[in-house]
Amino acid sequence: MAGERAAGRPGAGAVLALRLLGAGLTAAMAAIHLRLWATGYADLHVIGALFLLNGIGGGLLALALAAAPARYLGAVAALGALFTAGTLAGLVLALTSGLFGFRETFDAELVRPTLVVESAGVVTLAALAVLARGRAPRRWR
């Protein structure tokens, strides 16, 4: 991975594993939103545009997580955790009280997998942000 100069330091394997898992979960979240956007959600007022933006933003974040130099990894992971948490919060709102006039159901396509992917993404990326921050060179902390 780009910028992984400290590969021999303790915790390097955990950082790499969390980086790969975080990038994969973020890419999966983006893919889910793009698939749903392409199969009908594009026609929903406001929600359609948000699904498209989530798919694009999630794809860019997945690439950034995979390629970020070690000194920036903590910040990129924190941004990814916040982005994913916001997406998860949007889904929870849509499932409970509704969001922008749209109400989702648990039986809708990909709702349950999305809850799992986004929940795991928040936890993984938050852990990566903390671990990467602790491993960043002193001048970057």
* Pair 80, 113: CB distance under 8 Å: no
**pLDDT tens per residue across span 17-49:** 999 999 999 999 999 999 999 999 999 999 999
* Pair 131, 72: CB distance under 8 Å: no
Residue 3 has pLDDT above 50, yes or no: no
Residue 139 has pLDDT above 90, yes or no: no
Tell me the DSSP string of 70-118: HHHHHHHHHHHHHHHHHHHHHHHHHHHT-BTTB---TTSTTHHHHHHHH
- The two tokens of residue 77 are 């992971």
With both helix axes pointing from N to C terminus, report the angle between 70-96 and 47-67 in degrees, rounded to the nearest 10: 160
**pLDDT tens per residue across span 49-77:** 999 999 999 999 999 999 999 999 999 99
What's the pLDDT band for 124 if we cut at 50, 70, 90?
very high
What's the pLDDT band for 12 if we cut at 50, 70, 90?
confident
Which positions ≥6 away from 80 have C-beta within 8 Å? 22, 26, 61, 64, 65, 121, 125
